[in-house]
Amino acid sequence: MPEIDTNCVETKIPGFLQHHGTALVEVQEHMGDLTLVVQPEAIRQLIQALKTNFGFEMLLDLFAMDYEIRTQYSGALCGSLPTLFTSKKRRVRLKVFIGETNPEIDSIHDIYAAANWFEREAWDLFGITFKGHPHLTRILCHQEFVGHPLRKDYPSDGYQQLRKAIRSAGM
Amino acid sequence: MNTALPTEPFLQLNLGPSHPATHGTLRILVNLEGEIIRDMKLEIGYLHRCFEKMAETHTWNQVIPFTDRLNYVSAMMNNVGYVMAVEKLLGVQVTKRCQRIRVIMAELSRIIDHLVCIGANAVDLGALTCFWYFFRERENIYDLFEAACGARLTTSYTRVGGLLADLPEGWTDWCRKIIDNLPRTLDDVEGLLTTNRIWIDRTQGVGVLSENVLWITDSRGPVCEPRGMPTMCESTSLL
C-alpha cells in the first residue's frame, strides 16, 4: 500500500480515516480538489457512510475515464468517479480503478437516485457494468450502436450507419 | 427504459423528436388522460454529438469552439467553464481583469439564457409578445458580444490563460446602458404574464416536485427555491 498523505482528508472530512482509512488506496489533492482513490469492493459502503455520517447529501456527477497510460495500477483502465457535495461547501471525489476487460462495479443508484442516468451514460460510453442497476440501457447512443465510443480503443472516426427507427418499447 | 408504457386506458402520444432549431431535440412518449400527463418516458440522445470524442483528436485550444455549441444561448459560459478546467490542470492563475470580464460575460449569458427560457415558455403557451420584448434585449446583448469578440452566438472568446482580446473602448458604458434598460423590459413582461389568467392556469400547480423528490434526485437551483431548500448559488461558487 502506498504512503497516504492524510492531512488533507482530516481537514476536509474529520473523523473519516478513523473508520474508513483501510479502504483508501491513495489520496490526491490538486488545486484544492480532494480525490480519494478507493478499493472497488468498498465503494458502496464508503458512499453510504459519506452520505449518512459526513453530510455529503448530493451527488454532483458520476463519470468514467479511460486512462491510456497506466503506471502504478497495472492492468487498471476504467474508473467511476462519483463527486459528492455537501451544503457546507465541501466536495470530495472518489476514484475507483477497475479492469479493462469486463469492467464492472456496484451501482449506487439506491443511495443517490441521481446516479441512475449517470450510470447508464457511463455504461453507454465506456461499457462499465453497474451491478444492481434496474435497467442498464443506452441513454445517449442509438440502440443499434455497437461498442462504447469514449473508450480509447474506439476509433475517433468510427462512424456507424444506423437505420432502424427507435422502437417505442425500447425507450 | 426496457418496458413500454401501459397504454390502457390512456392515449399514447409521441411529442417530438422535433427539429434541432427548436428548444432542443427531445422525444417524449406520454400517456395522456385528457390533457393531463400521467406517465412519460424520455429519449434524450438526439442532441448528443460526442464532443468528448472529437476533443481526443484536437489540441486543448481547438476544443474551445466546440464548447460554443454545447448550449447555443450561453456559449460564453461554456467557454469560461472549459478554459477554467484546463487552467486548473495547468495550475495557471489568470489576471483579476480577465476574471472580471469572464464573470461579466457569464452573467450576460445567464441573463439571455433566462430571457430565452421564459420567453420561449410563454410562446409554447400561446403568448408571443413577451418573446419579442425579450428578444430585443437579447439582440442588444449579442451586440455587446459581437463588439468584444466578433461573433454573436459562437463566441469562442476565452483562451487558456486569458481571453481572445481585451474589451474595446467604450464597451463598459455601452454595457451599463443596456443593463439599465433591462428592468423596463422585465416590467413589461411581468405586466403581461404574472397576473395573466391563461399563464396562471397553465403553470400553477402543474408538475409540482415534492421536497422528497427534490432531495432524492439531487435537484438544485431555481426549482428548489420556492421550497426554501439550498440552491447551488448559495452553496457553491462558480469562479
Q: Please give the tally of structural domains in chain A.
A: 1
Q: Whole domain around residue A35: which residue ranges?
A: 7-170
Residue of A nearest to B41 (CA): A171
Query: In chain B, which residues have their Cβ closer than 8 Å to the Cβ of A125?
Result: 50, 52
Closest CB from A87, A149, A171 relative to B53 = A149
Contact flag B218-A112 (C-beta cutoff 8 Å)? yes
Regarding whether B150 and B39 lie in a shared domain, the answer is: no
Burial of B189 (0-12, 13-18, 19+ CB in 10 A): buried
Q: Please give the tally of structural domains in chain B.
A: 3
Asked, for residue A58, whether it belongs to a domain, the answer is yes
A108, A132, A97: which is closest to B218 by C-alpha? A108
A66, A102, A83: which is closest to B53 by C-alpha? A66
Query: In chain B, which residues have their Cβ closer than 8 Å to the Cβ of A169?
Result: 3-4
CB atoms within 10 A of CB A141: 19
Q: Measured between alpha carbons, how far is B111 from B142 in angstroms, rounded to an integer?
A: 11
End-to-end Cα, chain B, rounded Å:
37
Contact flag A140-B48 (C-beta cutoff 8 Å)? yes
Residue of B nearest to A168 (CA): B4
Regarding whether B90 and B190 lie in a shared domain, the answer is: yes
How confident is the model at residue B234, as a pLDDT? 43
Asked, for residue B5, whether it belongs to a domain, the answer is no
Contact flag B4-A169 (C-beta cutoff 8 Å)? yes
Query: In chain B, which residues have their Cβ closer than 8 Å to the Cβ of A140?
Result: 44-45, 48, 50
Instruction: Mark the ranges of chain B whose per-residue pLDDT is less than 70.
Output: 1-8, 19-23, 212, 214-239
What sign results for the dihedral spanned by CA atoms A146, A151, A154, A158? positive
What is the total residue count of chain A?
171
Closest CB from B1, B53, B235 relative to A171 = B1
Q: Whole domain around residue B25: which residue ranges?
A: 11-47
Asked, for residue A42, whether it belongs to a domain, the answer is yes
Regarding whether B153 and B188 lie in a shared domain, the answer is: yes
Instruction: Characterise B25 by phi-psi region: left (phi > 0), alpha (psi -120 to 50), beta (else).
Output: beta
How confident is the model at residue B159, as a pLDDT? 95
Per residue of chain A (171 residues), what is the pLDDT tens digit?
Answer: 455 566 777 777 777 777 777 788 888 888 777 888 888 888 888 888 888 888 787 787 888 888 766 554 444 455 566 666 655 667 888 888 887 777 888 898 888 888 888 899 989 988 888 999 998 989 998 888 899 988 888 888 888 887 766 554 443
Contact flag A171-B44 (C-beta cutoff 8 Å)? no
Asked, for residue A1, whether it belongs to a domain, the answer is no
Asked, for residue A13, whether it belongs to a domain, the answer is yes
Asked, for residue A164, whether it belongs to a domain, the answer is yes
Regarding whether B60 and B36 lie in a shared domain, the answer is: no
Regarding whether B58 and B29 lie in a shared domain, the answer is: no
Check which CATH number belongs to the domain holding A114 and give it. 3.30.460.80
- What residues contact B82, with CB distance under 8 A and at least 6 apart? B63, B64, B67, B158
Query: In chain A, which residues have their Cβ closer than 8 Å to the Cβ of B216?
Result: 112-113
Asked, for residue B193, whether it belongs to a domain, the answer is yes
Chain B: closest CA distance from residue A22 (Å): 29
Check which CATH number belongs to the domain holding B190 and give it. 1.10.645.10
What pLDDT, in 10s, does the model give residues B43-76?
888 878 888 889 989 999 999 999 998 887 889 9
Contact flag B88-A30 (C-beta cutoff 8 Å)? yes
Strands A91-99, A33-38: pairing is parallel
How confident is the model at residue A165, as a pLDDT? 62
Peptide bond into B9 cis (omega under 30): yes
Q: List the 101-130 stretch of B: residues with Cβ below 8 A of A.
A: none
Chain B: closest CA distance from residue A10 (Å): 21
Please name every residue paired with A83 in a beta bridge, in sequence order, or none if there are none: A61, A93
Residue of A nearest to B55 (CA): A156
Regarding whether B233 and B151 lie in a shared domain, the answer is: no
From chain A, which residues contact B within 8 Å (Cβ)?
A: 30-31, 33, 57-60, 85, 87, 89, 112-114, 125, 135, 137-142, 149-150, 152, 154, 156, 166, 168-171
Q: Is B54 on the interface with A (CB under 8 A)?
A: yes
Asked, for residue A2, whether it belongs to a domain, the answer is no
Asked, for residue A165, whether it belongs to a domain, the answer is yes
Regarding whether B116 and B15 lie in a shared domain, the answer is: no
Regarding whether B194 and B218 lie in a shared domain, the answer is: no
Chain B: closest CA distance from residue A32 (Å): 10
Q: Is B4 on the interface with A (CB under 8 A)?
A: yes
Per the CB < 8 A criterion, the answer to whether A91 and A83 are in contact is yes
How confident is the model at residue B222, as a pLDDT? 64
Query: What is the ipTM metric for this complex?
Result: 0.79
Burial of A152 (0-12, 13-18, 19+ CB in 10 A): middle
Query: In chain B, which residues have their Cβ closer than 8 Å to the Cβ of A60?
Result: 218
How confident is the model at residue B90, as a pLDDT? 92
Query: In chain A, which residues have their Cβ closer than 8 Å to the Cβ of B88?
Result: 30-31, 33
Asked, for residue B6, whether it belongs to a domain, the answer is no
Asked, for residue A149, whether it belongs to a domain, the answer is yes
Asked, for residue B146, whether it belongs to a domain, the answer is yes
Q: What is the DSSP letter of A39?
A: -
B89, B94, B82: which is closest to B155 by C-alpha? B82
Contact flag B3-A141 (C-beta cutoff 8 Å)? no
Cell of B203: 403553470
